[in-house]
Copies of this chain bind each other. A is one copy, B any other.
Amino acid sequence: MPMNQLRRDPVSGRWTIITLDKPVISDLISPNHREEESVENCPFCEGNEHMTPPEIMALRNDGFGPNKSGWRIRVIPDKKPVLQIYGEVNNRGMGMYDVLDGIGAHEIVIETPKHNETFVDLSEDQIAEIYWTFKERILDLKEDARLRYILVHKNYGEAVGLTTNHSYSFIIGTPITPKRVKDKLVNARDYFQFKERCIFCDIINQELSDQERIILEDEKFIALAPFASRRPFEVWILPRKHEAFYELTSEYRALANLTKEVLIRVYKLLQEPDYIMALYSGPNIKAGRRRGYWQSLERDFHWHIELMPRLRTYSSFEISAGFPINSVPPEYAASLLRNIS
């Protein structure tokens, strides 16, 4: 199989991962329906460890060895990674265009040994351990100076491409900073240069003072409907304390409590919608040619989680203009999520 490529569109500046093996066109037109699932053929189930590549790490009970039963959380490389871990980035021109080899990390965090247990069903303790695992993997991948950014994200539901009823998240490390992340980093840096304050800290203060878009808060974290929510019931979860990097020390349990409570409310209100969730931490300062570029990063960025229920697909205007239309004002979304029992 040829190595995938990262290609930059010179007009939009957007990078795309192009998989270079030629697909069967009929598979694109009518994607195969999900196969009947069972615990026997699910590679993520306990007892089926031999069906996956060797694990990268796992949280295990005492007395069991790697790639055997007895784990609570297990991290494995994706069997068909879109980005592969071995090789050089090989940054080069092709005529006027820019190309990199498809180098990167593509890992799966299996969040429970049990099939049919969705993320929201997991105990707060289990979710806290998942959050701890994300941190461990991010810290480990940051040792790799080829990787500029490590994004943790999960999806739930067939509409967002989920193909199994076994709960998991993805960790993807990329040799360029993804566009959406870069937009955040650049705006946060520009704001800091102008105001000498963190833009996220300012948002937290603004929201605590307005009280219109706050959904839930505790001592450590705040969940809010962002002022310019792109989609109905978009939620951000932010730590109150200014921290650029997702490197919590003892707050996993508080984060787990709040996340689970938010998800339960979203589930009740919207009848278990499909959703996506992403964790945005600061980029890998070890990586890249432009180490000086993010020099104020520790002061100007602030890690956070985005949660987006998926109630409909994007329209032609939203895609062609890059201009979302949201039919639920965030103040209304927050009041519904705040008041649901």
Interface SS, A side: mixed
| Residue in B202, B209, B271, B323 whose beta carbon sits within 8 Å of that of A17 in the complex | B323
| Interface residue? A67 (CB, 8 A) | no
Number of A residues near B (Cβ < 8 Å) is 87
- Asked if B13 and A187 make an inter-chain contact with CB atoms under 8 angstroms apart, the answer reads yes
- Asked if B9 and A328 make an inter-chain contact with CB atoms under 8 angstroms apart, the answer reads no
Question: When A97-B227, A154-B316 are in contact, do A322 and B179 touch as well, CB less than 8 Å?
Answer: yes
Name the segment of A18-26, A47-55, A138-146 touching the other chain: A18-26
- Asked if A312 and B31 make an inter-chain contact with CB atoms under 8 angstroms apart, the answer reads yes
Q: Please name all residues of chain B whose beta carbon is closer than 8 Å to the beta carbon of A202 when the two chains form the complex.
A: 96
- Asked if B269 and A18 make an inter-chain contact with CB atoms under 8 angstroms apart, the answer reads no
| Interface residue? A320 (CB, 8 A) | yes
Name the segment of A57-65, A128-136, A329-337 touching the other chain: A329-337
Q: Please name all residues of chain B whose beta carbon is closer than 8 Å to the beta carbon of A276 when the two chains form the complex.
A: 316, 319-320
* A 170-190 contacts with B by CB, 8 A: 170, 172, 174, 178-181, 183-184, 187-188
Best-surrounded residue of A172, A226, A308 (most CB of chain B within 10 A): A226
| Interface residue? A241 (CB, 8 A) | no
- Asked if A178 and B228 make an inter-chain contact with CB atoms under 8 angstroms apart, the answer reads no
Q: Please name all residues of chain B whose beta carbon is closer than 8 Å to the beta carbon of A330 when the two chains form the complex.
A: 18
Q: Please name all residues of chain B whose beta carbon is closer than 8 Å to the beta carbon of A269 when the two chains form the complex.
A: 25
| Residue in B29, B170, B322 whose beta carbon sits within 8 Å of that of A183 in the complex | B322
| Interface residue? A244 (CB, 8 A) | no
Complex-state Cα separation, A203 to B153, whole angstroms? 35
| Interface residue? A191 (CB, 8 A) | yes
Copy count, this protein chain: 2
Q: Please name all residues of chain B whose beta carbon is closer than 8 Å to the beta carbon of A19 when the two chains form the complex.
A: 325-327, 329
* A 230-279 contacts with B by CB, 8 A: 230, 232, 269-271, 273, 276-278
Give 10 closest A-B pairs by Cβ, nearest first: A180-B322, A278-B320, A178-B321, A155-B316, A9-B228, A179-B322, A276-B316, A7-B228, A178-B323, A17-B325
Complex A-B: 20 CB contacts under 8 Å: A7-B227, A10-B227, A12-B180, A16-B324, A16-B326, A18-B326, A18-B330, A28-B328, A94-B227, A95-B210, A155-B315, A159-B313, A160-B313, A160-B316, A170-B317, A178-B321, A180-B323, A181-B322, A278-B316, A278-B321
Given contact pairs A11-B200, A20-B329, A97-B206, a sample of 5 additional A-B residue pairs in the complex whose CB atoms are under 8 Å apart: A10-B191, A12-B187, A17-B323, A22-B328, A170-B316
A: residues with CB less than 8 A from B are: 7-20, 22-23, 25, 28-29, 31, 82, 94-97, 151, 153-155, 159-161, 170, 172, 174, 178-181, 183-184, 187-188, 191, 199-200, 202-203, 206, 209-210, 226-230, 232, 269-271, 273, 276-278, 306, 308, 311-317, 319-330, 332, 336
